[in-house]
Amino acid sequence: MADAAGRLSKLAEEVLGAPLPVRIRAWDRSEYGPPGAPVLIIRNRRALRRLLFKPGELGLARAWVAGDIDIEGDLYEALDMLSGLIWERGTAAEKPQRAAALRALAKPEIRAAARDLVALAGIPVPPKPPAEEAPKSHGPLHTLRRDKEAISHHYDVGNDFYELVLGPSMVYSCAYWESPDATLEEAQRDKLDLICRKLRLEEGQRLLDVGCGWGSMALHAAREYGVRVVGITLSEEQATYGRKRVAEAGLADRVEIRVQDYREVHDEPFDAISSIGMAEHVGRARYAEYAADLYALLKPGGRLLNHQIARRPLADEDSYHVDEFIDRYVFPDGELAPVGRTVGQLEDAGFEVRDVEAIREHYALTLRAWVANLEARWKEAVRLTTPGRARVWRLYMAASALSFERNRIGVNQVLAVRTPESGASGLPLRAREWRG
């Protein structure tokens, strides 16, 4: 037991067929691995039991959330080094590597090392998952009840905590950076204004903001463009916070914040709809319904701005699965789709898609800004939630920043029109006039 780090590193190297890219420091104070590399700290033997009983991403996630493992050094560098072992396991490039690892497990020396791991792990009892894990839901995906529960898990964790992470703008979606030197607040304001310009909002029009969050888009559109806004969210805490902001801004006559599902909106048609970072919660099974419902809620000539994270397409789309860490700890039941499918389903609903803008790099900058906010006020973040919850947010935001930087996922703004039978879209002849 005196050299747990060395024994663990050698086991990993035998299974992977290559040296472990990070240094390991174990609970017995032993260290092993490349000098100067980020250090993976294994604080106790319970971390090993988590991996034995839930091999792969979920076991690692539980160990991280519980504080059984940690990173010393640059978190982004460590996650980038480990990404092929954790977050890229489902890619085509990783399949041969995983197959080789499985073949290696049949070798006598690997079986001996695995027995060593079991001996290192100690008492063979599965540890209890950390409390921040979402309860496993049953029944059909994306019912009204199940979606509300999933949204509550992610968003009803305390408005004070989100203020700390997001900053004064309280915008929880990709900002739009005119320059990397801009502040987060400037970039979020520019994003909201860009959406308003793409939608060609004018005084007196009606806007539906689907997934309105804490009301930032609704406030900006009403204050700067004079429109009347209905904002809908499934989060009670978001709605309470948004209504307070609306009242304080003196815009209660122009902005209404509701706790309502998009499938329950039966208002008179709107001039425009914004859906910013919400469609990721809709799911494949409901996306056609989502597109059709938004189409029906628009007047002829009305415009939709759909701002949505996308994943890379797969050769076998049926093999797609949500990462276990994200599903259990971050966005239960969330699903990503390739941008091509999103555009196709909007067109199937009757929309004319007029513009698609990819802003992948912008989300990486946004996430790094949020991580910096969280790390700068870490003790306060822990006090406002729990140590486990704060660790979940730090890991998922840092890992997501890398995913955007490495083109594993992207984000797109799709502008679509309910073009009337006359064919007059109401959009300018000059492409992207909103650029000014």
Q: Kindly report the three-state secondary structure assignment for every residue of the chain.
A: CCCHHHHHHHHHHHHHCCCCCCEEECCCCCEECCCCCCEEEECCCHHHHHHHHCCCHHHHHHHHHHCCEEEECCHHHHHHHHHHHCCCCCCHHHHHHHHHHHHHCCCHHHHHHHHHHHHHHCCCCCCCCCCCCCCCCCCCCCCHHHHHHHHHHHHCCCHHHHHHHHCCCCCCCCCCCCCCCCCHHHHHHHHHHHHHHHCCCCCCCEEEEECCCCCHHHHHHHHHHCCEEEEEECCHHHHHHHHHHHHHCCCCCCEEEEECCHHHCCCCCEEEEEEECCHHHCCHHHHHHHHHHHHHCEEEEEEEEEEEEEECCCCCHHHCCCCHHHHHHHCCCCCCECHHHHHHHHHHCCCEEEEEEECHHHHHHHHHHHHHHHHHCHHHHHHHCCHHHHHHHHHHHHHHHHHHHCCCEEEEEEEEECCCCCCCCCCCCCCCHHHC
| pLDDT tens column, 166-202 | 999 999 999 999 998 999 999 999 999 999 999 999 9
pLDDT at 91: 43
CA atoms within 13 A on the CB side of 201: 30
pLDDT above 70 for 111: no
| pLDDT tens column, 368-399 | 999 999 999 999 999 999 999 999 999 999 99
Report the alpha-carbon distance of residue 248 to residue 244 in Å, rounded: 6
Handedness of CA 118, 70, 367, 92 (dihedral sign): negative
pLDDT at 272: 98
Q: Which residue has the tokens 């990993």?
A: 12
How is the chain split into domains, by residue range?
4-121, 144-435
pLDDT above 90 for 358: yes
| pLDDT tens column, 289-315 | 999 999 999 999 999 999 999 999 999
Q: Which of 142, 164, 181 is nearest to 322 (CA)?
A: 142
pLDDT above 90 for 94: no
Q: Which residue has the higher pLDDT, 330 or 418?
A: 418
Q: What is the pTM of this model?
A: 0.91
| pLDDT tens column, 130-141 | 887 766 666 777
**409, 323 Cβ separation under 8 angstroms:** no
**404, 410 Cβ separation under 8 angstroms:** yes
Q: Which of 353, 346, 201, 355 is nearest to 270 (CA)?
A: 201
How would residue 109 be classed by pLDDT, with cut points 50, 70 and 90? low
User: Which amino acid is residue 380, in one-letter code?
Assistant: E
Phi, psi of 128 (to 5 degrees): -70, 135
pLDDT above 70 for 360: yes
**Diameter over CA atoms, the chain:** 79
Pairing of strands 255-259, 228-233: parallel
- Domain 144-435 falls in which CATH fold? Rossmann fold (3.40.50)
Report the alpha-carbon distance of residue 372 to residue 366 in Å, rounded: 10
pLDDT at 155: 74
How would residue 89 be classed by pLDDT, with cut points 50, 70 and 90? very low
Phi, psi of 324 (to 5 degrees): -65, -40
pLDDT at 88: 45
Report the alpha-carbon distance of residue 249 to residue 361 in Å, rounded: 33
pLDDT at 113: 66
Q: Which of 228, 304, 213, 220 is nearest to 259 (CA)?
A: 213
Percent of the chain with pLDDT over 90: 70
| pLDDT tens column, 52-66 | 888 878 898 999 999
Q: Which residue has the tokens 């029944």?
A: 139
Handedness of CA 424, 430, 431, 434 (dihedral sign): negative
pLDDT above 60 for 247: yes
pLDDT above 50 for 36: yes
Report the alpha-carbon distance of residue 356 to residue 347 in Å, rounded: 13
| pLDDT tens column, 197-223 | 999 999 999 999 999 999 999 999 999
Region 120-135: what's the mean pLDDT?
Answer: 84
Region 104-118: what's the mean pLDDT?
Answer: 66
**241, 159 Cβ separation under 8 angstroms:** yes
